[in-house]
Amino acid sequence: MAQQSENKIWFITGSSRGFGKIWTEAALKRGDKVIATARKLSAIAHLNEKYGDNVLTLELDVTDTEKVKTAVEQGYEHFGRLDIVLNNAGYSLVGTIEEANMDDIRKLYETNILGPVAVIQAVLPILRKQGHGHILGTSSNLGHVTLPVIGYYCSSKWAFEAIHESLALEVKDFGINVTIIEPGAYATEFGSQESLQFAAGLDIYRDFKSHFFNELGQMQKGDPNATPAAIFSIVDTVNPPLRLNLGKGNLSWVRDIYAQRINTWEEWDAISAQAQGLSI
């Protein structure tokens, strides 16, 4: 597998915590340059002292489309190139489908779906002009399967996956690659109060959610500090894949779920075929 060795210039959203923080620092430690962005500039200011001219820190709320455009332009003008664009900002809405209110759902989608789209639309003219670039999107294994209580988060990742898959087909001829990163359960700050939004609870779901959280707490979580090597293997290869699982359990879970879906479709295939109507 051919590898690219030249140091790269990254644009990363959500650099202040979780995978974004780990991957930002890992890229800088290996000598790459990073435009690191976060909602609060103070959360990433320490990067300037540690990495000097190799980092540009910018305050950015991805739900503000104009600020996204400005940040992308600032980063490009500062370093003169963009090689890797990592859409990492996002959070989870905790609540059943009935419990979550419309404002909370819209806010989640604005950050997890529309925010990444704003970044993509801002960087594409630059990447096309360059004739190269690699867009990475941090999704989840929940972009293929679902869990209760975080159904809206799962739905945001399903949309995220579809958008990036379509994007990959649309920009391939411009020399632009797209990879969807799909982590399983990891011990990051993703479960912290800053990364979670809680819907107002209904008593009828109290026992159900208690059981769910107990099971979730027993789930084995991976070490996020073990992930940079996998990310670098993707961005350094000439022909990166569309999707990359992070973690050991993802593939077996997704394989089982898709087997169940195919079985259901096959069981009902005669009914489905009848619904096609008469063919001429």
3-state secondary structure of 268: coil
DSSP-assigned letters across all residues of 7-56: --EEEESSTTSHHHHHHHHHHHHTT-EEEEEESSGGGTTHHHHHHGGGEE
pTM of the model: 0.91
Query: Over the stretch 244-272, which tens digit does the pLDDT of each residue have?
Result: 999 888 889 999 999 999 999 999 999 99
Q: State the average pLDDT over residues 56-73.
A: 97
Which residues have CB under 8 Å from 237's CB, separation 6+? 1, 2, 3, 4
Distance CA 152, CA 100 (A): 9
The verdict on whether 153 is a catalytic residue reads: yes
The verdict on whether 5 is a catalytic residue reads: no
Dihedral pair phi/psi, residue 184, rounded to 5°: -90, -145
Q: Where are the domains of the chain?
A: 9-251
Query: Over the stretch 3-35, which tens digit does the pLDDT of each residue have?
Result: 444 799 999 999 998 999 999 999 999 999 999
Query: Over the stretch 199-249, which tens digit does the pLDDT of each residue have?
Result: 888 899 999 999 988 887 777 788 999 999 999 999 999 999 999 999 888
CATH number of 9-251: 3.40.50.720
Query: Over the stretch 70-88, which tens digit does the pLDDT of each residue have?
Result: 999 999 999 999 999 999 9
Query: Over the stretch 86-136, which tens digit does the pLDDT of each residue have?
Result: 999 899 999 999 999 999 999 999 999 999 999 999 999 999 999 999 999
Local confidence band at 190 (pLDDT 50, 70, 90 cut-offs): low
Q: Tokens for 190, please give them.
A: 């993703």
| Active-site option among 15, 33, 157, 186 | 157
| Active-site option among 91, 152, 153, 186 | 153
CB atoms within 10 A of CB 126: 17
| Active-site option among 16, 139, 140, 155 | 139
The verdict on whether 221 is a catalytic residue reads: no
The strand pair at 133-138 and 176-183 is best described as parallel
Residue 149: name the closest of 94, 213, 91, 211 by CA.
94
